[in-house]
Amino acid sequence: MGRQSKQLYINLPVNHVKESIAFFEQLGFEFEEQFTSDQAACMVIDDAITVMLLSLRHFQSISEKQLVDAKKASEVIISMRVHSREEVDDLVEQAIAAGGSPFKEKQDHEFMYGWSFQDLDGHLWEVFYMDEERSGLS
């Protein structure tokens, strides 16, 4: 029996859904209008990955745990692999121009290159490119 593809939905609490939508649109992401409202926004990364940006109240109703202020404490690091070193730089530069902030300095290893940013709510996003031929993974 073949392995079935799975979909991944990441739920992130945000202070202002509309501001978060505007931020991520400036990075080139699209939203599924059918699943977007004042309380939640469905950001499509690709066919298998979706990020739900949820108002604090909505997130709290689902989680029932105390929320972490991502500007003060780490909750998760979202790592996204892209297709080139240039795409890493472009995406992080767009995030900074849209109101985000850089997180760490660029990381340049022989086969992997990455850079990080914080979104408007302090969530950490690592963007990286891996040269599979040089890594020995190909």
Q: Model confidence over 55-77: pLDDT tens digits? A: 999 999 998 888 889 999 988 89
* Integer Cα distance of 57 and 116 in angstroms: 28
Let me know: does 123 contact 80? Beta carbons within 8 Å: no
Task: Tell the CATH topology of 1-62.
Answer: 2,3-Dihydroxybiphenyl 1,2-Dioxygenase; domain 1 (3.10.180)
Task: Tell me phi and psi for residue 69, to 5 degrees.
Answer: -80, 105
Question: Is 74-138 the same fold as 1-62?
Answer: yes
The band of 7, judged by pLDDT with boundaries at 50, 70 and 90, is confident
Q: Are 113 and 106 in contact (CB under 8 A)?
A: yes
Q: Are 55 and 11 in contact (CB under 8 A)?
A: no
Burial per residue of 101-117, b for 16 or more beta-carbon CB atoms within 10 angstroms, e otherwise:
eebeeeeeeeeebbbbb
Q: Give the per-residue pLDDT at 137.
A: 59
Q: Tens digit of pLDDT for each residue in 18-59?
A: 999 999 999 999 999 999 999 999 999 998 999 999 999 999
CB 7 within 8 A of CB 45: no
Domain boundaries, the chain: 1-62, 74-138
- Cα(138)–Cα(36) distance, integer angstroms: 39
Domain made up of 74-138: CATH architecture: Roll (3.10)
From 20, 52, 48, 49, select the one nearest 34 (Cα to Cα).
52
